Chains A and B, each alone.
Chain A
Amino acid sequence: MTKVLMQGNEACVKGAIAAGMRFFAGYPITPSTEIAEGSAVELPKVGGKFIQMEDELASMAAVIGASAAGVKSMTATSGPGFSLKQENIGYASEAEIPCVIVDVQRTGPSTGMATSPSQGDVMQARWGTHGDHPIIALSPSSVEETYRLVIRAFNLSEKYMTPVIFLMDEIIGHMREGVEISNDIEVIDRKMPSEDQKENYRPYDCADGELVPALAPMGKGFYYNITGLLHGGDGFPTNDNEVTGRQVLRLMKKIEDNRADICQSESQDMDDAEIAIVCYGGTARSADEAIFQLKEKGIKVGMFRPITIWPFPEEDFLKATKNVKKILVVEHNYGQILLEVQRLAKNLPVEFLGCINGKTISPDEIIAKVEEL
């Protein structure tokens, strides 16, 4: 095992390639551009391909096309581009095409502040594309974790045949840290239908008790239709409400019923904590330093950090905060995960520390806020 100094965006590329990414389509946008640049350099070396598309919409579409042809694919963007990708993120969700969408969040709204950090796309990651749909979103809080977690993003997308949002932020994307590059990683590939299914192949009819379809890549002799219209087991559009209802319900349940497998979180110093700081991504780094200093002062404070942002790790959160007296949500926005925490915390007082001007939330600000509580 070797430890290498690298940038968060660079670790994202390295992890993606380790996970089996062999196609990347993107469009230049700060602060995610290094992911496109890194992919352009690294992919041909492993026989993979990179393409710079004409816009964000097209790069999302190309990623889905490549994945439908059987190649693990990723795109990367930031806020304005993430807005444009929403159309086809919904398509990937409905058609059940696995792919990874990296959003290195910057300050918004609109063009916002291109080089400043933010966590303002958390709710967009959940509900950005129209209609009811499931989503998985993961958020790393170190360069090392970026490397490992993007591999998990690919694994979850292949396992559950769904788009996975990799929710980075400018802090982590541009941070440089040592990363342990290990060859001992688990890589999951999508299920394949068996050869005997070729006749009358019904890709979206799952076996009894199964929630995830086995979709054959194009070119393998399985003829079927892929569409963003609600469809039956053969992939052909239908207006039969019973069929469409069943199809969308399965889509939701394949994520809902597998929360235990999908949700990850980290609890730090929570055993005797009276105050729980809830934070994630780059913000967790400031909280980490704040907690260290607060504990030196004798304040009983701990951290609950969701690593899987969507679905929110509810069970972990409830367990971790069972004995606390107060909760402080620290996030780089006007209050987004705050809403989840308020919903779950019920009778506990929930305080908030946010930031919307593009500045980084400092440990001192967190310390001052905790001391106020």
Chain B
Amino acid sequence: MPSKLIQKYMREEHLPHIWCPGCSHGSFMRAVAVAVDRLGLDHDKVVFVSGIGCSSRSAGYMDFNTIHTTHGRAFAFATGIKMANPELEVILFTGDGDASAIGGNHLIHACRRNIGITTLVMNNNIYGMTGGQYSPTTPTGEFGTTAPYGNIDRDFDIAELAKAAGATFTARANTYDLNQATNLIQKAIEHKGFSLVDCLSICPSYYGRKNKKGDAVKMIQWQKEHTVSVQKAQNMTAEELQDKIVCGVLCDYDYPEYTEKYQQIIDRVRKD
């Protein structure tokens, strides 16, 4: 018997999902459903947009208006949707490759415009759908099928990238603390303007196996040991923070939202 959450918000007929055992994309998908439920959003006005890759299959499982777009372009599709109807709550599922490699340009410009889109990056440090190639967030020195001798690229911090590009809300969540993840996603949806949550997902099938990280439990355990909250990090030295990943709200400030600014242009032009 599916849970009430699934019955209310997901397309039961298309479950179970396609993700591998141990993958935590489904946990973040659930966290989004919980956040939407807690916020009591108008079901008709929520749109899920996604790109291409494992992460982007999420949109199709949600029983809302959903659009599974092209690789990297979800930000641009979402921009068109939000411009056409600013009343819509636009939530975007993407992955590390989708958002920061092929979609990198679209990501930074969506941030720069501060358009009202909530972005959830299911960041598992690898291209999973195609079988384990290194992505822009695969740590330097680690392995993928296309980095058989170790990755020589420097890795991106997607939350930092978004913040630098102008996103007015950024946060990082992890698979170990799903309560925190749900709260952060909720805050991101509530935020007016462009918000992004870097969701540290785990991929035992490819990233884990290629890099001898152990099974899903071990990988989640690793996250528990290597993540610290923003509050705790404030009292830690640079040395102590060296092998830690900071989770929580990383940036949060007000700046006029793009479609509201455009509406002001329309109002001004039509008054003249």
Binding site for B on A (CB under 8 A): 23, 25, 44-45, 47, 49, 51, 53-55, 57-71, 73, 87-88, 91, 217-229, 236-237
From B49, B70, B83, give the contact of A91 (CB < 8 A): B70
| A-side contacts of B44, CB under 8 Å | 219-221
Given the known inter-chain contacts A58-B106, A223-B65, please indicate yes or no for A44 contacting B77, CB distance below 8 A.
no
Q: Is B87 an interface residue (CB 8 A)?
A: yes
* Chain B window 233-272, contacts with chain A (Cβ cutoff 8 Å), 1 for yes, 0 for no: 0000000000000000000000000000010011001100
Q: Is B105 an interface residue (CB 8 A)?
A: yes
CA distance in complex: A236, B60 (Å): 7
CA distance in complex: A224, B13 (Å): 13
Whole-angstrom distance between the Cβ of A137 and the nearest chain B Cβ: 22
From A23, A91, A220, A223, give the contact of B63 (CB < 8 A): A223
* Chain B window 26-52, contacts with chain A (Cβ cutoff 8 Å), 1 for yes, 0 for no: 000000000000000001110101000
From A68, A88, A91, give the contact of B81 (CB < 8 A): A68
Whole-angstrom distance between the Cβ of B170 and the nearest chain A Cβ: 20
Binding site for A on B (CB under 8 A): 11, 14, 43-45, 47, 49, 59-60, 63-70, 73, 75-81, 83-85, 87-88, 105-106, 108-109, 262, 265-266, 269-270
Whole-angstrom distance between the Cβ of B99 and the nearest chain A Cβ: 14
Contact A23 B266 (CB under 8 A): no
Contact A66 B47 (CB under 8 A): no
Contact A218 B85 (CB under 8 A): yes
25 pairs from A and B in contact (CB 8 Å cutoff): A25-B79, A25-B80, A44-B262, A51-B83, A53-B76, A54-B76, A59-B76, A61-B69, A61-B76, A61-B106, A62-B77, A62-B79, A65-B69, A65-B76, A65-B80, A68-B80, A70-B84, A70-B85, A218-B65, A218-B85, A219-B45, A221-B44, A225-B66, A226-B66, A227-B67
CA distance in complex: A63, B44 (Å): 22
Given the known inter-chain contacts A25-B80, A58-B79, please indicate yes or no for A69 contacting B69, CB distance below 8 A.
no
| A-side contacts of B76, CB under 8 Å | 53-54, 57-62, 65
